[in-house]
């Protein structure tokens, strides 16, 4: 998959990043790069137009605030409609990736994808239980 | 992912097969279809197989990275996307293990 094919997934990656908390543009790029084990690199030339479009869709809002080095930076925050969009598109992505994986012959992807969510919710339960203790 | 609708749109316009034919990844010829009408048949070339190998691996790498960012968990990302053809049986075992867990 070439970089320009990633454009459609970019909004999704940004929404997921902002679901962890508000970040400035530079921080979003860094987050995506780090969590993807340096595989995904978001160029500023595509990030800022994407942020602008997402703000127009009201999936995110932004405001000025101080960054770590005490310069003024624009901070982005996910909205309720943004969270809704994230959950719909995340599921769409999973469905499509699973389907493509099957066609490309990457094993019986469906089984793994199906159990994945239950494993995650189990992990969440475990985490919550640990937090209670 | 944006390239799926794009792919469909290209197919509708018949542009995709022309483009990949121009790259010599496939060749085509006329032949009889099941209902005995003449249809264009497509066949992959050696260059096409090479391209498939490269792009299949690119897709796996990228999809795995996106899965990680989307929080689908390391286990899922590696179980699905670290699988190669030779490892299909071990993937099956992994899947059974996951189900059993």
ipTM of the complex: 0.75
The answer to whether residues B55 and B38 belong to one domain is no
Give the per-residue pLDDT at A22.
95
Flag whether residue A116 sits within 8 Å of chain B, measured between CB atoms: yes
Question: Both B40 and B50 in a single domain?
Answer: no
Mean pLDDT of A94-105: 90
> For residues B25, B30, B33 and B36, what is the CA-based torsion angle, rounded to 10 degrees?
180
The tens digit of pLDDT for each residue in A1-49 reads: 344 445 568 999 999 999 999 999 999 999 999 999 999 999 999 999 9
Range of the domain at B90: 46-101
Residue A83 has pLDDT above 80, yes or no: yes
Domain boundaries, chain A: 3-132
Regarding whether B54 and B28 lie in a shared domain, the answer is no
Q: Which helix (H) or strand (E) holds A62?
A: strand A60-66
CA atoms of A23 and A18, how far apart (whole Å): 7
Q: Using alpha carbons, select from A17, A19, A84, A46 the residue that is nearest to residue B66.
A: A17
Does A6 reach chain B within 8 Å, measured CB to CB? yes
Say which residue, B5 or A15, is predicted with more confidence: A15
Per residue in A100-119, pLDDT (tens digit) is 999 999 865 544 454 444 44
Cβ A101–B81 below 8 Å, yes or no? yes
Q: What is the pLDDT of residue A70?
A: 75
Q: B72 and A37: CB-CB below 8 Å?
A: no
A40-77 pLDDT, tens digit each: 999 999 999 999 999 999 999 999 987 777 778 899 99
Same domain, B35 and B59: no
| Tokens coding B32 | 């009889």
CATH assignment, A3-132: 1.10.10.10
Banded model confidence at residue B39, pLDDT cuts 50, 70, 90: confident
pLDDT exceeds cutoff 60 at A92: yes
**If you measure CA to CA, which chain A residue comes closest to B71?**
A16
pTM value? 0.69
Cα gap A122→A111, rounded to integer Å? 17
Cα(B77)–Cα(B61) distance, integer angstroms = 10
User: Encoding tokens for residue B74?
Assistant: 């390391």
Is B21 in the same domain as B63? Answer: no
């Amino acid at each position: 998959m070439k970089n320009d094919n990633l454009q459609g997934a970019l909004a999704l990656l940004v929404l997921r990043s902002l679901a962890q908390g508000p970040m400035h543009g530079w921080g979003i790029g860094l987050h995506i790069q780090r969590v993807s084990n340096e595989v995904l690199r978001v160029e500023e030339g595509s990030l800022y137009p994407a942020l602008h479009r997402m703000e127009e869709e009201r999936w995110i809002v932004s405001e000025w605030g101080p960054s770590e080095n005490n310069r003024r930076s624009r901070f982005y925050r996910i909205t309720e409609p943004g969270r809704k969009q994230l959950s719909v598109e995340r599921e769409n992505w999973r469905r499509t990736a699973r389907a493509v994986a099957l066609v490309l012959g990457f094993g019986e992807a469906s089984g793994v994808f199906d159990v994945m969510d239950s494993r995650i919710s189990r992990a969440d339960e475990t985490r919550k239980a640990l937090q209670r203790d | 992912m944006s390239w799926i609708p794009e792919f469909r749109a290209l197919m509708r316009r018949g542009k995709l097969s022309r483009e990949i034919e121009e790259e010599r990844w496939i060749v085509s010829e006329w032949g009889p279809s099941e209902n005995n009408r003449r249809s264009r048949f497509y066949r992959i070339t050696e260059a096409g197989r090479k391209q498939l190998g490269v792009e299949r691996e690119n897709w796996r790498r990228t999809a795995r990275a996106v899965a990680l960012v989307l929080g689908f968990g390391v286990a899922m990302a590696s179980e699905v996307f670290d699988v190669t053809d030779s490892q299909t049986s071990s993937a099956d075992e992994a899947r059974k293990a996951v189900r059993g867990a």
